[in-house]
Each structure stands twice: as C-alpha cells, then as structure tokens.
Amino acid sequence: MTSIPMNNLRRRYLRHEADLLRISRDVLASGNWISGPHNAAFCREFAAATSVAYCIGVGNGSDALEIALRCVVTDPARREVVTVANAGGYTTTACRLIGLTPVYVDVVEASQLVAIDQTVAAVGPATGAVVVTHLYGGLVDVPALRAALRSAGFSGVPIIEDCAQAHGLRGCGAGAGAFGDLATFSFYPTKNLGGLGDGGAILTNDAALAAQVARLRMYGWDGKYDVVTNGGRNSRLDELQAAFLAAMLSHLEADNERRLSIIDAYRAAGTDGIEWVSSPHGNVGHLAVVLTNDRDRLAKHLNARGVATAIHFPILDCDQTGWAGAVQRIGPAGIDVSRRSVKRILSVPCFPEMSDDEIAHVCDALGSYSA
C-alpha cells in the first residue's frame, strides 16, 4: 500500500513549477539577491494581507521571536515571559538566547491554546511580555486577553503573537498578527505560507517598534556601519525567498480552505474515541490534530493502513533535558492540561496537495478505528 505522507513538498513545487522557475531566473539574473525590490514588495503585500502597517522580513521564525522579545523586554526588572509549554520550544529557545525566564501557563484542552485566565494569573511585576502562540492554526482570542490584562492592572504588558502556524488566519474582528504589539511569522516550507527554504517576518502597527526591528535584524545599524542599538544581528529575508513567497501569497486563502475541508472530511468520518483539536475563534488547518486516550494504538492502526502520523509536539518545554537546571517557572495554576494532553495528541496528514482519493483513504482508516 502506498503511504500517505504527513506532507509532500515536491507536490507543491510541481504544482507551481513554471512560476518558481521563472522567478528563480529573474531574481538570479538581476544580480540583486539581498534586500532588493522583491523583499520590499513582499513585505508590503504581506502587511496588507494581514491588515498590519509594517512588515519586516527576517531570516527565519526563530530570529523573529528573538528580535521581537529584544524589542519589548527592555526593563532589567521585567525579565519574565509568560507563554505555553506545548508549542515546540521556539519561544523558550528565544528566551534562553537573551537571558529571559519563561513562565509556563496551561492550555484549554479542546483547542490546545493558552488559557487566558491562567495567563493573567501568571503576570506580575517581573513580567516583560506575554507570547501567544496560535498553535495548529487555531486563533487565540487576543482581544479578550488584552481586556483581561487591562482589568487586572497590566495594560502595559506587551503581547507578542507567534503566528508561525497561522498565516491568513482571521477571527475576533481581525487577523492573526494584527492584535499584538508585535507578531512573528515563519515561512518554513511546510507552513501555510511556506518558501523553498528558511524565512520569517515581524509585523507591527507601531512605527517605533518597526524601526527597532529593522535595526536589530541588521546589526543594530541606523545607517550602514553605524551601530546605534545593542543586540543586533544579521537576519535578512533573501530576495529569492521573498519572490517565492509573493507568488505563493495569492494561493494562501484557497490553500487554507482546502486544509479546512480536509479536516471537515475527517470529522465526518465517524471516528471513535478521538476528539479533534480546534479553536472556537477561527482556524486555518495548519495541522490536523486529535486527542485520544490510546495514541499508540491509533497510530499503529493508521500506519498499518498506510497513513503517516506525527506528534506535534512530544515533549513539553519545561521537561526538555537540554534545559534541565535552566531558570524557568510554572504559573500558579500549574500545567495539568498540558501534561495530560502531551500524551494524547496525534497529527494526521493535512496539506493542500493531498488528492481526493488520499483524503478518502484517511477517512476510511479513521472511520474503521474503534476505541
């Protein structure tokens, strides 16, 4: 039996081959491969698509998180970052790189997204920022979080949206990336808007923060060779990736609709003993994730029928052996849901280039499972 993969990037290439080859030739022939017109054009287009004023391209999504945190966590007395432990370690990595302390709060089981009440309970005088991850392509109600922080007396705490899995996501009156002080995106190839290599961006409606981001992603320069800001680095979105992303942007809405239709088909398959992870505020189906009490048994059932599975993500940040002994804190309400869920989550294939026959096959495999 032919295996149905979690993703197949070659299919994406073949689908857009003519455009991608033309773009490659044009960019390479221009001799302008860094910080050129394609970069500027894509950033304008992506900012407009997200309804945000400023977009600054960077080298990858991890750099975006690090630079965003450097921009807003500037008070030596406020070095804690409230975040979740179930989102793959990316925010924690950024915190470790610049000496910040992650404070982990729990998630809502049905969505696997940060619990707003527990976030507010973990915020205090040492909080420098809150990072909200729109995990699996599900929207966190950031306006509700902002209102809750304001009511608790923490209106000045910056919010960073991690939108690495949320390109084109809309809900709560706007789009993911338009709610926070800053928003970070990754354009890793498997993302809803993915390039043919690494890439990332930081978005904001604040002109001063946009200027700060632009300096930090280019050595801290104000002008060439003129370092005015400490903590800068070299992190640029190259011309080739920017041009590829601009071409893919016009397909984003249709691709997201295809992802959601795949998940809808899976839901309708009559699956037994599993719950589909979903946000009530909006989704773009970055991943199709279930919760089940016997993950190994379900994975074995699907694998035997040629359906690939994966776990996003199998280890909580606070339990990573490489960070053993590093400074961290658990919020006052604990992370019981996160600990329970990390043993129950399982991802199944969901990407726009899946064929109808493959979708039907996954539906049959899911429908034949009995808890």
289 and 142 within one domain: no
Amino acid of residue 18: A
Domain end position, chosen among 205, 230, 249: 249
270 and 242 within one domain: no
Domain assignment present for 81: yes
Task: Tell me the β-bridge partners of 102.
Answer: 81
360 and 311 within one domain: yes
291 and 225 within one domain: no
Q: What domain count does the chain have?
A: 2
Domain at 319, CATH number: 3.90.1150.10
pLDDT at 168 over 70: yes
pLDDT at 196 over 80: yes
Domain assignment present for 1: no
The mean pLDDT value for 228-252 works out to: 97
Domain at 13, CATH number: 3.40.640.10
The predicted-structure confidence for 67-106, as pLDDT tens digits, reads as follows: 999 999 999 999 999 999 999 999 999 999 999 999 999 9
Contact 159, 179 (CB under 8 A): yes
Q: What is the pLDDT of residue 2?
A: 60
Structure pTM?
A: 0.98
* Least reliable range by pLDDT among 75-84, 199-208, 271-280: 271-280
DSSP string computed for 310-339: B-S-SS-GGG-GGGTTS--EE-TT--HHHH
Residue 63, CB half-sphere, CA atoms under 13 Å: how many?
24
Domain, as residue range, for 227: 9-249
263 and 243 within one domain: no
212 and 263 within one domain: no
Domain assignment present for 2: no
Domain end position, chosen among 205, 223, 249: 249
300 and 350 within one domain: yes
Q: Helix, strand, or coil here: 175?
A: strand
155 and 274 within one domain: no
C-alpha distances in angstroms, 121 versus 106, 159, 340? 11, 15, 21
Where does the pLDDT of residue 270 fall: very low under 50, low under 70, confident under 90, or very high at 90 and above?
confident
